Structure 1
Amino acid sequence: MKILVIGASGGMGRLVADRLEKAGADVVRAHRAVGVDAYTGAGLAEAARGVDVIVECANNITQRASKAIDFFGTVAANVSEAARDAGVQRVVCLSIVNAAQPQVNSKMGYYQGKARQEEVYRRELGDRVILFRTTQWFELGATMLDSMSLGPVGVMAHMLSRPLAVADGADLLADVALNGGAAVVEVAGPADLDMLDVAREIARRRGTPRWVLGINFGGKVIRSGALRPDGAFEVTATTFGQWLDQTYPAAVGA
């Protein structure tokens, strides 16, 4: 099986490509550094030629709704066109649990972009697209701390979720790419956690930042659990404690 992974240089895309190759798939790793730009469409048709499945993990971190909607909607349209032209069996799109719900994304521009992405794929590909939605990743705590810290002080939004390890999500996404699945596959971690608590524990293990302040962002529904799946979903195995020990082993017991 030949599989095109778009966004293969990112956190999820790279892991998925690794797992697919380990499973014996012929993987095409697509990202801008190798001349494939899913937003402009450059190199996309060539990359999709002869491919059986496309896994779409393209990303653009922004909270500007207009920018997010434009990026994710354009990528979805371009990938859909390339998939149709190449006769691809299915496209598996990485998305976020409940991001398409208006009550969740009304104050979060990035999630509005993911909503547009899902809308375009469904319109353009119908039952040839699988929406693979995950909850937030444990890694988001570290990413936010790195981008939202000033000296000894960091901030993190109150976000009640069922976060998971990105490696666990990659395992399941690779399986869906290889074997197919339902029109929507939702994946969540083993326990409810506030991402603020996740970030604080990461900071404690790393030793920086010294203080992590909680902020209200995204509206009350984000803080009260609307990011958790409300139907059937796959549960990943790695707990937050296990992930911490694996990610920051030198700090264990400190």
Structure 2
Amino acid sequence: MKLAVAGGTGTVGVHVVEVARERGHDVVVLSRSAGVDLVTGSGLSEALSGVDAVVDVASTQTISAKESTAFFSAVTRNLLTAETEAGVGHHLALSIVGIDQAPHAYYAGKVEQEKIIRAGTVPWTILRATQFHEFAAQIRSQTSFGPLTVIPRMLSQPIAAREVAERLIDLAERPPAGRVADLGGPHEERMAEMVRRYARAIGARGLVLEVPIPGAYGRAMRNGTLVTTTDSDHGLQTFDQWSAAQAR
């Protein structure tokens, strides 16, 4: 198959590209370095020539609902338009567990993304996953102030980005399936404790302070909205196994 990966240079995207190539697929990475701008749509039509399926794992770093919605709306509409013109038969998107119950901040954009996909004419598959193991390292780097790291009170169910990528390619190799079973990690974890354990694993010192985020967005982070339910699938690699691998 010929697959195009939007966001193919990101945290999960690099794994999607790697897994697809390991399985013998021809992969096109949709990125600015390859002459493709997902936000404006520039270069998309040419890049999708002969593509069988598009795997969209593009993301943006913002907690603004307005900015997130603008980004995901533009990217999704541009992809679907170009896919229709190129005759692509499958649009596969990675989304986030629980967003319909927490349509705030960054998640607002993901909710809009799903709406646009469902309303489009390109046959589709949506996989919702929980946060990746890498999220603990990312949030630590963003919220550290000298020896102090401030972490929002959050219940998570971290999963290996590689395992998410493997599931995405499994789905890309099959016909469009609509909304499929959610995918989460093997265990529920408190984000602050994840950050503490990650810091120990890499030999970092400092104080990790856990604070509740106010409002509906903060409640969703704390109350289990963002973890899987009983009818979901689960990965195998634990957060501690991932952390140990980073230390090596």
Q: Could you say which TM-score interval applies, normalised by the shorter chain?
A: over 0.9
In structure 2, the partner of 1:33 is 33
In structure 2, the partner of 1:73 is 73
In structure 1, the partner of 2:84 is 84
Unaligned runs of 5+ in 1: 250-254
Distance in 2, Cα, partners of 1:221 & 1:4 = 33
Distance in 1, Cα, partners of 2:10 & 2:145 = 25
Aligned mate of 2:211, from 212, 215, 220: 215
1:62 aligns with 2:67: no
Q: Give RMSD over aligned pairs.
A: 1.4
* TM-superposed deviation, 1:229: 2.1
Matches within 5 A, 1:133-172: 133-172=128-167
Distance in 1, Cα, partners of 2:219 & 2:65 = 19
Q: Is the 8 A contact 1:72 1:113 kept in 2?
A: yes
1:202 aligns with 2:202: no
Q: Is the 8 A contact 1:152 1:208 kept in 2?
A: no
Q: Is the 8 A contact 1:154 1:209 kept in 2?
A: no
Distance change (3 Å), C-alpha of 1:181 and 1:80: closer
Q: Deviations over 1:144-176 (max 9, x none)?
A: 111111111112112112211111111111111
Q: Is the 8 A contact 2:20 2:27 kept in 1?
A: yes
Q: Is the 8 A contact 1:100 1:118 kept in 2?
A: no
Distance change (3 Å), C-alpha of 1:32 and 1:98: same
Distance in 1, Cα, partners of 2:98 & 2:175 = 21
Matches within 5 A, 1:1-254: 1-101=1-101, 104-106=102-104, 109-125=105-121, 128-180=123-175, 182-185=177-180, 186-217=182-213, 218-230=217-229, 232-249=231-248
Distance change (3 Å), C-alpha of 1:120 and 1:231: farther
Distance in 2, Cα, partners of 1:114 & 1:18 = 25
Distance change (3 Å), C-alpha of 1:201 and 1:24: same
Percent identity (aligned): 35
* TM-superposed deviation, 1:221: 2.8
The letter for the 2-side match of 1:191 is: H
Distance in 2, Cα, partners of 1:199 & 1:138 = 10
Secondary structure of the residue that 2:63 maps to in structure 1? coil
* TM-superposed deviation, 1:14: 1.2
Structure 2-normalised TM-score?
Answer: 0.94
Structure 1-normalised TM-score?
Answer: 0.92
Q: How many residues in Structure 1 have an aligned counterpart in Structure 2?
A: 244
Distance in 1, Cα, partners of 2:221 & 2:130 = 12
* TM-superposed deviation, 1:234: 1.5
Distance in 1, Cα, partners of 2:132 & 2:61 = 15
